[in-house]
A and B are shown apart, each in its own frame.
Chain A
Amino acid sequence: MTSDPGRPARPETPPPIEPLGSGSVALRLLAGGLALVAGVAALVIAILLVRGVLL
């Protein structure tokens, strides 16, 4: 690979991948989506209550 004189040289080694914390990315995304679904479900219940549908 030739270096471009106009640009700074690429590092020899790629930056270390940051630790993902708890679980993999996919699992974390799935969990986040699940929390979102829980939020929407709770809101639907609350709005139906406010509108008197569930009372």
Chain B
Amino acid sequence: MSRPGRIRAALIVAVGVAVSSALAPGAASAHAYLVRTAPAASGILNAPPATVALSFDEAVEPRFAIISVTDARGAQETTRSARRSAADPDTLLASLRPGLPQGWYLVYWRAISVDGHPVQGAYTYAVGPNPGPAPQFSVPSVSSTAVTPALLVTRWIMFLSVMSAIGLLVLRLIIARPAPGSLRALTRASIAAAVIGLIAIPVYLDVAIAEDSLRSVFDLGALVPLYRVTAFGRGYVDLEICFALFAIAAGIAVWVDRPDRPRRSLAELAAGTGVLATIAAVLLVPPSIGHASQTSPRGLSVAFDAVHLLAGSVWVGGLIGLLVVWAAAGPQRRVAVLGIVVPRFSAVALTAVIVLLASGTGSTVVHMPAVNALWDTSYGVAILVKIGLLTFAVLLASGNLLRTRPRLAAARADPEQAAGAARLLRRLVGGEAFVVAGAVFTAAVLSSLAPPPPAFALADSALAHVGPGRVAASVTRAGYRLQVLVAPNKAAAPDDFALRITHGGVPVRGATVTLAFNHLQMEMPQQNYALPEVAPGVYRRSAPALIMVGPWSLAFAIAPPGGRPFNALIVDQADG
């Protein structure tokens, strides 16, 4: 098989393995959300409760959960940390001090979903019979994020080192050989990247678990037992195992490899196949524990991410490898060595960039529910920044392809041009590697953010954007005038939802009105409530439907008697 043929075959095997295994059905996970509370939100009790119970749609780990209950002065009223209910594994309990006085209490909760993302919320209840007026609690921030500087930096180092180790090895074992001289410098760089990766994965896991469980990163006695508690933690432990197997297979492949021989021995072929299998495994793990595993169609989404990672690894590792070769070869042999390696890498890098762009585009299409999500959500903005950086890197790469490669070829015939060609190569490749490393950082940010849910697309058809605070808005739809009232428009509290329908100034009586709720930034099941008619043309219901703060789509499905049914959608910003 020819050189390009071998490279193609190797890439096809890795991609094929990724796609075939990714297309297999599997479990999907999502964010945990609160489905029931006891005491009820904004409820008034006649006697103080012994516990606060929060029921979620999935089993959440109590060791990562916080339930805080404070009175109007901010005094903590819980007696111990959150625990799982013996009767219901999806319910967390917090015990309260006995005999709490009358008054209003604030419940603040924070839990970790199975995918590792924190979710938070708050609500109030009162102990009566005369709790008095509801005080103004200072509600803790209820925005949830998995993006902190420490997490981002460790995640970036992890991605960069793992991708570099893979790319450097591909350069060393496939692209650069057969080589006239030693490839020891590339071997050393691969080992260094693999060692950093082997350290970076557990460090990232430790920082993430420490962040989630609100402990110090050095509290290893408490953190290590938590590593495999969540799906997120188990995934990263498995990534470490797969990457360690990659390091072993890579070490063996380099040891048995004789780069001066064009034909490979049986041992080299076996070791090479083992390396490719471990690469496929390592690249499959992050998508299968990240957002890709929660995005439909799941198989396609995981495959896009795995192929994207493979192409990125070949590119970034190859660029670092060229710099290593440049530094290790010395001024005398530099042009001779680079004159062989650079043209080979350029051809592979071009393919890698095309695959990177194609898989990135596919992934964006799968994740983005609407085009405007690209500039209206932080996830979309991160994608645009990444695209910008990669475009800049492609421009630098084209400089290498169009200018450096011919100059290196010319320098072999005319040694006087050698120094200039090598200098240009170092500048362009160094700049390209720097920009691609920046793109990897953006990818680390991107994979830390939650992609907009499919409901985001609903916002584009909204008749009005309302909130935060009490809502009283009028819109016109299908010849009907609709007056919408939401009060007090608070998250995790029973809100009043009312709709007055008039047609030509006359109240529309006897209509069937259903109100559907979708959070526009989080994946949650849609909630539907029928709004009964409470006065001529007025349809109203009180419901704790706005579970979390943030933008909600309120979709009214209206079937007037004798008229054509129609929908009216408004986007409401609910506050904490």
Contact = CB atoms under 8 A, between A and B. Distances in A.
B268 interface: yes
> From DSSP, what is the main secondary structure of chain A's interface residues?
helix
B235 interface: yes
Interface string A15-36: 0000001110100110111111
Contact of B256 (A28, A46, A51, A54): A28
Interface in B239-263: 241-242, 245-246, 248-249, 252-253, 255-256, 258
B27 A55 contact: yes
Contact of A50 (B24, B265, B269): B24
B244 to A, nearest CB: 9
Contacts of A46: 21, 238, 242, 280-282, 284-285, 288
A33 B242 contact: no
B255 to A, nearest CB: 6
Nearest to A30: B267
Contacts of B114: 55
B289 A55 contact: yes
Contacts of A41: 245
A49 B238 contact: yes
B377 interface: no
Interface residues of B, number: 47
Contacts of A37: 274
B26 interface: yes
Contact of A42 (B28, B246, B270): B246
B258 A21 contact: yes
Contacts of A42: 241-242, 245-246, 249, 277-278, 281-282
Interface string B278-300: 10111011001100010000000
A25 B266 CA distance: 10
Contacts of A14: none
Interface of B: 17, 21-22, 24-29, 114, 231, 234-235, 238, 241-242, 245-246, 248-249, 252-253, 255-256, 258, 265-271, 273-278, 280-282, 284-285, 288-289, 293, 302
